[in-house]
Structure 1
């Protein structure tokens, strides 16, 4: 009998890109699961004998009372890239996860798995990471067994390259030789489920292919059958954009841009994992659009 059959998992963030893949993997493995969501109708297709859907907003602690009863492992993908609807990174990435952690502690949950991002500890000064890493600090101090998973960018984020390619040119800062290996949500979901029985406190992970920004730009243009036109902008423009946005706009505007422009400026290579290829993802995305 698999040890996962003895587990009851609470998954928060199941309506998001990664959360949806984790929910699918939990269903496929017939692991007893609770899914919490603000809009439970979006998860109806997961409902089964092993899956219970609970309507709750993680930003409202009173709605989480008792959700962790009987739960052995919590997996949280809760976080926002863009601030909207009046909520901030601190409201969601930090406080909402803390609300969940407090419930987990009260209910005697054994393990808490949290998905942050690569080098979050190194880039704590970025608004997105400031909130995530503040929660990581709280998780480490909680006394629970925990794993922080740090993926190296999602395939879904790479759609920005396709958006540029549709207009005929891909714009990059610097020489475009910065390398990284983004990962597909389906592959990352496998890592998250493996973490249920892991003793690792931190897992840094990326996809199977290490690519330069130039290669990703070329791939996007080839996918759309466009001639390869990549424009390399001097790096001082990138730095100036970050400075200007921080100076003249709110975190709602500059948070996600600051995050992407900072991480795209240097190599971010993680241990390789998975089967999914970015080229296939681009082809599928174009077919669906």
Structure 2
């Protein structure tokens, strides 16, 4: 079966492409310009059996990754994908966000939820994932410089997932006939403090932990949003995650400590 994969150039997209190919799918890809054009996307998907969408703006907190907000990037691509899937009567698999109700109105989550709403009348499934292990990769280089900065009191809990597990789950949903939404996380439920402590242990030196009050981080996020919408929106999402638990069923099997060990070896 041909499957159109949106977001194939991203880290998760590359892993999904491998998993689809391993399952016998012929993977089609398109440019970002085609992905956001509903009519062009219909043409690109014609003859395919499914659309898999993991495309979106970068979550990297730095310059050089684009400045437009998530509603301006993720939502148009997702709506175009839903339009194409409905027009062609084919299945759509979408990678969404597992989140507590308190986060529903923030821009990062809302951008994804608008796509979820557009999928109500088509054959599809939303795979709601917690944070990715790779989101913590930048912490190791920071720790090796002797410090780590976190938001809040470090007591909120989450169970991030390895992208390799998530890619397998997404690929399985292309031919699946299960529920319309599944929430997935990794096997380890950890507090933010525990996550940062485990990263610090790999630094090979004494690491100073700096805790930024959530209220102050919220002010900073609002100020950043004025000049750089994407970074400001994701910073706001990070502030809310520091205040509320984000736990999903433990569907992933790869352990967080094992990922950190791999990361440490690669960075050595």
For normalisation by structure 1, the TM-score amounts to: 0.81
Does residue 133 (structure 1) correspond to residue 113 (structure 2)? The answer is yes
Measured in 2, the distance between the counterparts of 1:10 and 1:255 equals: 29
**1:251 maps to which residue?**
229
Q: Is the 8 A contact 1:161 1:216 kept in 2?
A: no
Measured in 2, the distance between the counterparts of 1:261 and 1:225 equals: 28
**1:90 maps to which residue?**
71
**2:14 maps to which residue?**
20
**Which secondary structure does the structure 2 equivalent of 1:147 belong to?**
strand
Count the aligned residue pairs. 262
CA separation of 1:260/1:86 partners in 2, compared to 1, >3 Å: closer, same or farther?
closer
Does residue 281 (structure 1) correspond to residue 262 (structure 2)? The answer is no
**Which secondary structure does the structure 2 equivalent of 1:10 belong to?**
strand
Q: Of the candidates 170, 188, 191, which is equivalent to residue 166 of structure 2?
A: 188
**1:79 maps to which residue?**
56
Q: Larger RCO: Structure 1 or Structure 2 (Cα < 8 Å, ≥ 6 residues apart)?
A: 2
- The structure whose Rg is larger is 1
**1:162 maps to which residue?**
140
1:163 Cα deviation from its structure 2 partner: 3.3
Measured in 1, the distance between the counterparts of 2:219 and 2:66 equals: 28
CA separation of 1:145/1:205 partners in 2, compared to 1, >3 Å: closer, same or farther?
same
What pairs up with 1:200-219 in 2 under 5 angstroms?
A: 200-219=179-198
CA separation of 1:65/1:266 partners in 2, compared to 1, >3 Å: closer, same or farther?
closer
**2:4 maps to which residue?**
10
Q: Which is further off, 195-204 or 56-65? A: 56-65
RMSD of Structure 2 on Structure 1 (CA): 2.4
CA separation of 1:266/1:121 partners in 2, compared to 1, >3 Å: closer, same or farther?
closer
**Which secondary structure does the structure 1 equivalent of 2:205 belong to?**
coil
Measured in 2, the distance between the counterparts of 1:249 and 1:230 equals: 28
Unaligned segments of structure 1, at least 5 residues: 1-6, 40-55
Does residue 104 (structure 1) correspond to residue 81 (structure 2)? The answer is no
Measured in 2, the distance between the counterparts of 1:230 and 1:84 equals: 27
**1:171 maps to which residue?**
149
